[in-house]
Structure 1
Amino acid sequence: MVKLNTYLNFPGTAEEAFNFYKSIFGGEFCVLQRYKDGPPMEGCGELPPELGEKILHISMAIGNNALMASDAVPPMCPPVSVGSNVSLSLHPDSEEEGRRLFDALSAGGHVQMPYQPMFWGAVFGMCADKFGIQWMVNYELPK
C-alpha cells in the first residue's frame, strides 16, 4: 500500500506553522531537526548563525498520514514561493469535524469556497490558511 505524505517548504516560518497545525490536529511532532543539528550541506558553505534555529525537517502525524516540512531558506535551499502550488485535502469522519477543521484553518487566512453542501454529495470548502497553504475539506455525506 502506498501512503501519501505531504511535504511543505516555508520561507523561515515552518516552526510557527507547525505549532499552528498542532493546535488544530493535536498530537506531537514525530521529528524536529534544526539546521544547526544537521550535517554540513555540501556546496552551501558554512551555516550562517541566524539560520541555525530554522527547521531542517519537521514531521507530525495526522491520523495515519504524515505532514512534513522544512524551512527552505537560502543559502541552504533555493527560495520558496508560498502560495497555491500545493493543496492538502482533508477527509473528516463527520460534517461537524469538517466544519471545525475548516473554521480553524481559515482563521486569519482566506476562504476561497465556503464549507457547504456540494453537487457531488459532500460538504466541501476551500481556504488558504494564514501561511498561504491551500486546504480542501471534503466530507462525503452518507448515502
Structure 2
Amino acid sequence: MKIFPYLNFDGQAEEAMRFYQSILGGEFEGPIGLFGEIPGMDIPEEEKGRVMHASLRINDSVKIMASDTSPFMGHVWIKGNHNYISIDAPSKEEGERYFKGLSAGGKVEMEYQKTFWGAYFGSFEDKFGISWMINYDLKSGEE
C-alpha cells in the first residue's frame, strides 16, 4: 500500500502543481485532467478549466496529487478541507475493504465504484473529520 497527499485548491491547482514541480522536480503522470473533460456533464464555462485531477510523481515513493474544487458540483473550498489522504490500494477488493472500514460512521462523498478513468475510486470524510480517497487502477483485462 502507498499513501500520498491529495491537495484541493480553489482554481489554482495547475499553477500550484507546476510550481511544486519547478522546485521538487518530477514528472506529471499523464495529462492534467480538467472538469470540462468529464463525459456527459454540462459543466459551467467558468469551471471547465478547473483541474479535476493532477498527479506529480517526484520519485518511486513520493507523489503529490491535486484538484480544484467545483462550485457547480457543490464543492466549497474552506481552509482546512484542502487536504486528503489518498491510498493507492493493491487490489480492487482491498480498496473496497479500506473504503468500507475507514468510512464507517463518516460521510461518503463518492461511493467506491468503477470510474471513467479506468480505476475504482471513492472518497469520504471519516468519523474523525479526516478526508480520504481510495483508488485502485485497473490492470489490463480487469473490470
Return the TM-score normalized by structure 2.
0.51
2:8 maps to what in 1?
9
1:65 maps to which residue? Answer: 62
Deviation at 1:27, TM superposition (A): 2.1
**2:8 alignment partner, SS class:** strand
Return closer, same or farther for 1:77/1:19 CA change in 2, 3 Å cut-off. farther
- Decide which of 76, 81, 103 is 1:79's aligned counterpart: 76
Measure, in 1, the Cα distance between the counterparts of 2:37 and 2:3. 27
Question: CA RMSD, aligned part only?
Answer: 2.4
Tell me how far apart the structure 2 counterparts of residues 85 and 72 of structure 1 sit (CA, whole Å): 9
Deviations 1:82-133 (A, max 9, x none): 3487599xxxxxxxxxxxxxxxxxxxxxxxxxxxxxxxxxxxxxxxxxxxxx
Kindly indicate whether the alpha-carbon contact (under 8 Å) linking 1:11 and 1:82 is maintained by their aligned counterparts in 2.
no
Number of the residue aligned with 1:35: 35
For structure 2, list consecutive stretches of 5 or more residues without a partner in the other structure. 86-143
What is the TM-score of this pair, normalised by structure 1? 0.51
Identity of paired residues, percent? 39
Gap regions ≥5 residues in structure 1: 89-143
Distance 1:34 1:76 in 2: 14
One-letter amino acid matched to 1:81 = I
**Structure 2: how far apart are the matches of 1:56 and 1:87?**
14
Q: State the alpha-carbon separation in 2 of the partners of residues 84 and 49 from structure 1.
A: 25
Deviating above 6 A after TM superposition, structure 1's stretches of 4 or more consecutive aligned residues are none
Q: Which structure has the greater CA radius of gyration?
A: 1
Shift of 1:36: 1.3
